[in-house]
Structure 1
């Protein structure tokens, strides 16, 4: 990541003075790290949160309705102590979701947005010891403590005293609550069933 930005800066400097330097060749660098310390993310139990049948009469017509919280647990298991992170990808994004802790749902048959959900963090453990969830909006350059999951950003873990530096983990456990909100029914076409379809990918990254 640092080399990529350096290359951009060099290109910009050359671009503002095209006659100062002429080159007959250019280089391409291929870099990376092959690591034996593989980590595996997964959910305890099911990775599907199913609200079942929701009756229209139980939803508010004029203001959003918050459904009951559901608990879920995410685990990351590594072969050896490893610096890792998870990129949290919203697979049903809404362009107008200003709050980056909100995740979208698939549109209804009428092309309407049925609602959204977010993930609150209750507890973070690393190798059985209390830890702090942290997130980064700049690809891992800087980190901050968080009690929520941010979409399209990196999540990792730190000690409870230093929230700016990820720590190595053998096993990380994240207890979360999913909070789902349904838009007012007056804003939805309810002639047919509406399927709630939210999807989030937790993509592993090594730091």
Structure 2
């Protein structure tokens, strides 16, 4: 399932008289590499969500501070019609506070109608403060109503439904969980894809569009040590897996 290269080696030994085999035989190696069709992912906004300056005084002493939602669109453009899925890896997993134990459960932002993360499978880390305190968590929604995949003939070949697989694409199911559960099948093992019209499988397309919304929360002020400027440092890695 994962993008990979294959090297084909075919050997042939011609065996003659045993005493002359070493001198009269030679191996023929035929090498080659099979490479998948190239696809390029891009994220809107330069792949950066910047919340700017957040005064420590605005943080609650005992409650999480919910950040406003930010839109980010993941677009994958392929050279040819391709079936694919994506995985989201938390590059700051060691900084993620556990909900209700290391960070209070976030409440919904006043300007948002989207749910906040409810389980640790949905969250990713935001970095550490100077005393190694865990700054907070972020999560991600996919705008399922606007999921879209189109083929090389500019035809829509998808339904506005999100699929997931926890077994490397051997089987797929629909997910309506929001925020996403990137760690549902274990750390970095859940793959998401846009559903094709024909079956419960990834759409075969040259353009795969995942409009998304990122939310997050900063830990309670009483759990942090902020004496100098401290930057949020979340990082998510989106990896393409070819089907």
Superposition TM-score, scaled by structure 1 size: 0.76
Measured in 2, the distance between the counterparts of 1:142 and 1:194 equals 43
Superposition TM-score, scaled by structure 2 size: 0.66
Measured in 2, the distance between the counterparts of 1:65 and 1:83 equals 39
Measured in 2, the distance between the counterparts of 1:63 and 1:96 equals 14
Look up the match of 2:149: 126
CA spacing shift, 1:166–1:130, aligned 2, 3 Å: closer
Where 1:131 maps in the other structure, the secondary structure is strand
Look up the match of 1:155: 192
Name the Cα RMSD after superposition.
Answer: 2.3
Counterpart mapping for 1:125-204 below 5 A: 125-127=148-150, 130-146=159-175, 147=178, 148=180, 150-151=182-183, 152=188, 153-159=190-196, 162=199, 164-204=200-240
- Give the CA deviation at 1:149: 5.3
Q: 4+ residue stretches of structure 1 with deviation over 3 A? A: 94-98, 159-162
- Give the CA deviation at 1:36: 5.1
- Counterpart of 2:137 (choices 102, 113, 116) is 116
- Counterpart of 1:102 (choices 110, 113, 123) is 123
Structure 2: segments with no counterpart, 5+ residues: 2-31, 99-118, 151-155
Q: Is the 8 A contact 2:129 2:230 kept in 1?
A: yes
Find the structure with the greater CA-based Rg: 2
